[in-house]
Structure 1
Amino acid sequence: MAASLALPMHHAQATETDVIVIGAGAAGLAAAHDLKAAGRKAIVLEARSRIGGRAFTDASLGPAYDAGAMFIHWAERNPWVQIARDLGIETPGESWGGGFRVFADGRPMTDADRQKRRGAFGQIDRRLETVDLTRRDLSVKELLGDLGPDMSQIASSGLLLSIGEESDRISTRDYQRLWAGDDLVVPSGYGNLVSRHGAGLDIRLNQPVSEIRWDGLDVAVTTPSGTLHANACIVTVPVGVLKAGAIRFTPALPARNRNALDGLGMGALTKIALRVEGDRFGIIPGTSFLEAGSPSRLMNFDLFPDDKDLVIAYCGGDHARELSAAGTEAARAHVTELLAQMIGPNIRKAVTGISFPAWWTDPFSRGSYSVCLPGREAARERLAEPIGGRIFIAGEATAGGGAMTVGGATLAGRAAAAKVARIKA
């Protein structure tokens, strides 16, 4: 590895920049800022018409909400705490809102069933304290296997709203190493914060990359505007985009890197926001309703968060994939019907709009964030290994314990920039 990093940068005649960064999400912005500080010229290419990636504050309904990332996780070491402070943006602690109610098929869940669920939810953490993972990795489903099919499904259902994936596709080793800590929020929008952090960088929007050639003296990156040449390239697009083959690598990625990609999937944590105007049906703003009648179709509702005319539904796993594939109107009908069962039929008239940025079907995401498959917990580190001494893959997928977060993506982008900066110019 060290030998590949010691390769000199080749200054071909057509080279326009030192480094091309692909993707203007948190990882790409962090890499570009650090490269700029190191005296390296970097161009950031972004496929969308905006920056921020999966950190996106959506104001299409009027009141704004974070359609992607919303928490500054493990704030004790998250770089966004300092970035927000430098920009004068407030990041208070998470509010617990106006209470929490659990439903089963639209009716309030009985106390007995609620206690059963509460006991099941703690099983993952209890078993992680005693399980021996030194011999082999397990899926979370295997970890809970002796609970029986019903209790196992209840115990793992909460992961649909955190990891966004089914329990048989989650590596227990990878889940165990994820960092924990205090959560902060960004009332003005996490996506807006990430977007502001792009100031001062050379970012080119509406430039989806179709090919990366690395068989010459430099790296050639093809976009709709033509081909750019650079001495190195940092690729920060989501794993889902790489797995879909949206970017062609010439030559193909080495087998070790392809194998790393095979060991990662993409979760499908999904938000569906409804504009709800008029009567609030006596609901205290910030109240949460959880529809848990079917553990595989778990859906949580944040009602009028921050006193806004919004109801935001959350779901994950295969249920979220089905809703994403069905489309916006089908999602609106499904969510509205669930609310009508819990609140009453008049909610149907109060719903005046929907925002549904379905990450699973978004061609520039192909999912919410990366998930290590069982037995493939080394995939994150392997994916971050330099390719030919000049291509570096970075993002939340390569962030180890910080995976699945904006903070982790930022740290991974900085790590990649440090590797590039060590290459002899």
Structure 2
Amino acid sequence: MTWKERNAMSATQEVDVVVIGAGFAGLIAARELSNAGHSVLVLEARDRVGGRVWTTNMLGHDLELGGTWVHWVQPHTWAEMTRYGRGIVRSPAAEEARWLGTGGVPRVGTLEEFLELISPGQQLIINRVREAIPRGPEPTAGQIAQLDALSIADHLATLDLDEEARSANESVWVGHVNAPLTETGMSTAYRWVAATGGHWELMHEASATYRVAGGMSEWTRLIAASVRGEVRLNTTVTSVTQGDAGATVETAAGEKIHTRFVVSTLPINAISGIEFTPPLPEPWQRAGRETVASRGSKVWIKVRGPVRRFFGYATPEHPISVLKSEFITEEESILVGFGPDHTRLDGTDLGAVQAAVDAIRPGLEVLAAVTHDWMADPLSRTTWMTHRPGQLTRDHAGLQRPHGVVHFATTDNADLWGGFVDGAIESGLREARLVGERLGPTTV
């Protein structure tokens, strides 16, 4: 009796691989496996592809509610952009910088003056990167095991910085990690700087300078179109049950799909939304209980009239710690802000948004705001991956390890650019290769 015959009475559909989630990791894994001749079904709970990237036309512009910036030092990202003919658009260069000086006194200066302020501290923060993580693609090699217990705040406390430089450097890193610095491991800072060869300036550029021409959603749509199999939207997976001949995936609608392998692309914070039998391995359960550090917010803000191009920093205690201009016309300007804690700012409350803007760039009139609370979204429950102290070296290998016929592809367990689109693509490629090896060759 064949595999399909054994399971025909217990499942409504049989495929070689079910991919849970149609973000970058899931779409890349599905494309690779389907191109190799395997039958693949992608199940996506949202009504769109893309996962934590989402381009929406609001406030009169194409706005990225999730992941935004890319760079050519991110090898998997650049390869996929080349494959799909995606160019880059530079975010506007700032004409002025704003930050808080000693005693919280607002300061206005040039980009060069701000860089002069933060440069010594930025270098001190990452001085040990080459011994901590000597090679970017090997994030747990080197001395990181001895340093992984440190938070970014712990490390900053040891540095000899004056009040103004300390505040500026804290706010810069809050913008990067989208979380309180007391809860974010130095491992996150080290691994991202290691990915850019130890150069913090290049890491800053890679994480906040170039957008994808045409938007992230169009890029993921093109990838989805190249999957040789069904990408089924509005389909929530509720359980994955492994048996002697693969696994049965059940949806909220009661449908059962039998499959030889499953690729889960859910982030650490959201994977508990699916019941796995047998239960997930301890690294996944433990990380899911703790959650990762990121819990911040991103909000797009329309203000009246043209604004001189700027970036500004408040403090980690402010609801918006980082604010910068992105689109400017004669009638209006569109700003984007980031904060370390999504509970500190209601992006739908224009009064609260106005107060947060006033703390960094007073004199602007807020007209509208758009945001998506990724922390409240049950399919993400996080923004982008930032490790808590100790999580990287303790759990990284275990989060990559297959669990029976279930494989895990997510930026949360990527080696090089964890937390970025590049990490999602890397993990999708990795797990597609591993699953393909286990499936064996096809006749297609």
TM-score by length of 1: 0.83
Matches within 5 A, 1:9-408: 12-13=7-8, 14=11, 15-73=13-71, 75-92=72-89, 94-104=90-100, 108-109=106-107, 119-126=120-127, 128=129, 133=144, 135-137=146-148, 138-147=150-159, 154-178=168-192, 179-180=195-196, 183=206, 184-201=210-227, 202-225=230-253, 226-242=255-271, 245-261=272-288, 265-276=292-303, 279-280=305-306, 283-284=307-308, 287-292=309-314, 294-297=315-318, 299-305=321-327, 307=329, 309-318=332-341, 320-323=342-345, 327-330=346-349, 332-340=350-358, 347-348=365-366, 351=367, 353-378=368-393, 379-388=395-404, 390-408=405-423
Provide closer, same or farther for how the CA distance between residues 273 and 260 of structure 1 changes in structure 2, counting only shifts above 3 A. Answer: closer
Could you say which residue in structure 1 is the equivalent of 2:140? none
Query: Matches of 2:328 and 2:430 in 1, distance apart?
Result: 36
Provide closer, same or farther for how the CA distance between residues 239 and 276 of structure 1 changes in structure 2, counting only shifts above 3 A. Answer: same
Q: What are the superposed Cα offsets for residues 241-290 of structure 1, whole Å, 9 maximum, x if unpaired?
A: 12xx211112211324423545650413422112345x22xx23xx2231
User: Conserved in 2, the CA contact under 8 Å of 1:266 and 1:368?
Assistant: no
Instruction: Give the aligned residue type for 1:83.
Output: E
C-alpha deviation, 1:130, in angstroms:
7.4
Could you say which residue in structure 1 is the equivalent of 2:137? none
User: Conserved in 1, the CA contact under 8 Å of 2:97 and 2:108?
Assistant: no
State the SS of the aligned residue for 1:314: strand
Provide closer, same or farther for how the CA distance between residues 102 and 10 of structure 1 changes in structure 2, counting only shifts above 3 A. Answer: farther
User: Conserved in 1, the CA contact under 8 Å of 2:293 and 2:388?
Assistant: no
Could you say which residue in structure 2 is the equivalent of 1:5? none
2:431 aligned with 1:416, yes or no?
A: yes
C-alpha deviation, 1:65, in angstroms:
1.4
Provide closer, same or farther for how the CA distance between residues 338 and 213 of structure 1 changes in structure 2, counting only shifts above 3 A. Answer: same
C-alpha deviation, 1:310, in angstroms:
4.5
State the SS of the aligned residue for 1:221: strand
User: Conserved in 1, the CA contact under 8 Å of 2:99 and 2:106?
Assistant: yes
Most deviating of 146-155 and 169-178: 146-155
Q: What are the superposed Cα offsets for residues 339-378 of structure 1, whole Å, 9 maximum, x if unpaired?
A: 3566665614xx1x32111111112111111222212223
Query: Matches of 2:128 and 2:432 in 1, distance apart?
Result: 38
Give the count of matched residue pairs: 399
C-alpha deviation, 1:198, in angstroms:
0.9
C-alpha deviation, 1:393, in angstroms:
1.2
User: Conserved in 1, the CA contact under 8 Å of 2:124 and 2:159?
Assistant: no
Most deviating of 199-208 and 124-133: 124-133
Query: Matches of 1:344 and 1:186 in 2, distance apart?
Result: 31
RMSD over aligned Cα atoms: 3.2
C-alpha deviation, 1:205, in angstroms:
0.7
Identity over aligned pairs, percent: 23
Query: Matches of 2:4 and 2:400 in 1, distance apart?
Result: 19
Provide closer, same or farther for how the CA distance between residues 209 and 89 of structure 1 changes in structure 2, counting only shifts above 3 A. Answer: same
Provide closer, same or farther for how the CA distance between residues 117 and 263 of structure 1 changes in structure 2, counting only shifts above 3 A. Answer: same
User: Conserved in 2, the CA contact under 8 Å of 1:267 and 1:368?
Assistant: yes
Provide closer, same or farther for how the CA distance between residues 35 and 67 of structure 1 changes in structure 2, counting only shifts above 3 A. Answer: same
C-alpha deviation, 1:144, in angstroms:
2.4
User: Conserved in 2, the CA contact under 8 Å of 1:162 and 1:269?
Assistant: no
C-alpha deviation, 1:20, in angstroms:
0.5
Query: Matches of 2:302 and 2:327 in 1, distance apart?
Result: 12
State the SS of the aligned residue for 1:337: helix
Query: Matches of 1:22 and 1:409 in 2, distance apart?
Result: 14
C-alpha deviation, 1:26, in angstroms:
0.3
Q: What are the superposed Cα offsets for residues 166-206 of structure 1, whole Å, 9 maximum, x if unpaired?
A: 22322323431232267442132123212221114311111
Provide closer, same or farther for how the CA distance between residues 133 and 29 of structure 1 changes in structure 2, counting only shifts above 3 A. Answer: closer
C-alpha deviation, 1:109, in angstroms:
1.1
Provide closer, same or farther for how the CA distance between residues 134 and 20 of structure 1 changes in structure 2, counting only shifts above 3 A. Answer: closer
Query: Matches of 1:205 and 1:334 in 2, distance apart?
Result: 35
TM-score by length of 2: 0.79
State the SS of the aligned residue for 1:24: coil
User: Conserved in 2, the CA contact under 8 Å of 1:56 and 1:192?
Assistant: no
C-alpha deviation, 1:88, in angstroms:
2.9
